[in-house]
Amino acid sequence: MENKETKSKEILEIIAINEKNSKAGRIYYSVETDKGNFSCFEFDLVNDLKKAFGKKVQCEVASNDRGFKNIRKAFGVIETEKVNITKKESNGNGEIQEARAMKDQSIYTSYCKDIFVAIRTDPEAKDLKSSTIMQVAIELVKQAKDAFK
C-alpha cells in the first residue's frame, strides 16, 4: 500500500512543543498550533520553532492519507499577515453623484405620477387636459423639493 504525501505552505501559530517517543524509541516533537497538532522530527527545526512561541511562522507542511501532519521546514516568523486589497479606480464622487441624480429623478417622477393620478380621479378636474394636469404635478413636486432644501 502506497502512502501518498502532499506538501503545502501554511502559516501556523506556535502554541506548544512537546518531546515524545515513537514506538520505535525515536525522539520526535509534537507541535501544537492554531491549526492542530503537527509532528516534527528535526531537532534544529524544533529549536527554531521554540523561538517563535506565540508567533505565526510560515512552514512547509507534509500530510499523508493516514492523517499524519509533519512540519518539514520553517521559513520565518510572519510579523503581520499581508492582505491584498484592490481599490477600484474611479473619478472621485462622479459615479456616486450620477447614481444619486438618477435615483432622485426616479423618485420625483413617481411623485408626479401619484399627483397626476390623484388630480385625474378628482371629479372637479374632469375637464382638464392631461398635459395641464402633468404641468401642475411637476410644479407641485418642484415646490416641495425647494421647500425641503
**Verdict on whether the full-model pTM lies above 0.85:** no
On the question of pLDDT at 45 being above 90, the answer is yes
Q: Residue 18: which of 6, 10, 30 has the closest Cα?
A: 30
What's the rounded mean pLDDT across residues 100-119? 85
Q: Residue 43: which of 69, 19, 11, 15 has the closest Cα?
A: 19
**Local confidence band at 91 (pLDDT 50, 70, 90 cut-offs):** low
pLDDT 10s digits, 46-59: 999 998 888 999 99
**Local confidence band at 2 (pLDDT 50, 70, 90 cut-offs):** low
Q: CATH code for 5-78?
A: 2.40.50.140
What's the rounded mean pLDDT across residues 88-115? 77
On the question of pLDDT at 90 being above 90, the answer is no
